[in-house]
A and B are shown apart, each in its own frame.
Chain A
Amino acid sequence: MTGSDERIIGEWRFRVEAGKIAEFARALGADLKDPTIAPPTFTVVAAADFVERLVTDILKVDRKRTLHGEQSYEYIAPIRAGMTLACKARILSDQMKSGRQGGRMRVVTVAIDYSDAASGAVLLRETMTTIEKET
């Protein structure tokens, strides 16, 4: 989605370390054939500090009423140990909707693009949808 309502809400860099890839793979019980390539959901590590800021400072949602609805990835090229990622986050949508059981909820979709800082090439595009139920 492109348009004037797109808002850049975060830009940061993240260094991909081999030890962090190994720790992440171990936490999932994954056995990586090539341990220098990050597993498919590894960008959660690169985004962790941003997501904390997103929840508490940017969206200001109440964690006790907030759920993770969806997560999606488009893979363009592998993320490898030694790379520095240039990360850019934007809000795709932030809307109030009616739930299936009649209650109202806030549904926010955020996209993060991860590029190789050295070449500028986009490696991975991610979107995440967060749902905050109204009290």
Chain B
Amino acid sequence: MTVRPETPTLCWGPITRTDLVRYAGASGDFNPIHHDVPFARAAGMPDVMAQGMYSAGLVASALERWFGQSCLLSYRVRFRAPVWPGDRLVARCDELEELEGGRAKVKVTFSRGDDELVLAATASLRLSEEVPS
């Protein structure tokens, strides 16, 4: 028997440059556009831009909080808009379609504030037999 878990809205931020530098070190992505303000400005940006994979990682962590560790069978993200220092980010599970065999398909939106989409994700996953703690 699978249990349909609660999927409360999860929030991060305001994102700091320190968050981005910590993620750069952890991930090994040292593209200067993510930590070097003069480089980012020369590229026409207002500030350093968050790594897309930082957002993808936050949304993946949201999925594991909602559905349990190692729940994912597949995960796909489309990057829609850049994330900047100071942004507050919100992950919402918008759709959950239960499938045969204790599986589900979900759609997640990741937004700046309440309504500006920065990333759209879809995933297929195993629903846990227990509620994740």
Contacts and interface: CB of A to CB of B under 8 A. Distances in A.
B73 A28 contact: no
B61 interface: yes
Contact of A27 (B25, B33, B44, B73): B25
Given A44-B27, A45-B26, A63 B76 contact: no
Interface residues of A, number: 36
A72 interface: yes
Interface string A41-55: 100110011011001
A34 B133 CA distance: 12
A39 B60 contact: yes
A48 B31 CA distance: 10
Nearest to A70: B78
A49 B26 contact: no
Contacts of A39: 57, 60-61, 64
Given A45-B26, A73-B76, A29 B12 contact: yes
A25 B22 CA distance: 11
Contact of B29 (A28, A34, A51, A73): A51
Interface in B1-28: 12, 19, 22-23, 25-28
Interface of B: 12, 19, 22-23, 25-33, 42-44, 52-54, 56-58, 60-61, 63-64, 68-70, 72-79, 132-133
Interface of A: 20, 23-30, 32-34, 37, 39-41, 44-45, 48-49, 51-52, 55, 63-65, 67-75, 78
Given A24-B27, A33-B132, 20 more contacts: A23-B26, A25-B61, A27-B26, A27-B27, A28-B57, A28-B61, A29-B61, A30-B61, A37-B69, A40-B72, A41-B53, A41-B56, A64-B43, A64-B44, A68-B52, A70-B76, A70-B79, A72-B77, A74-B74, A78-B70
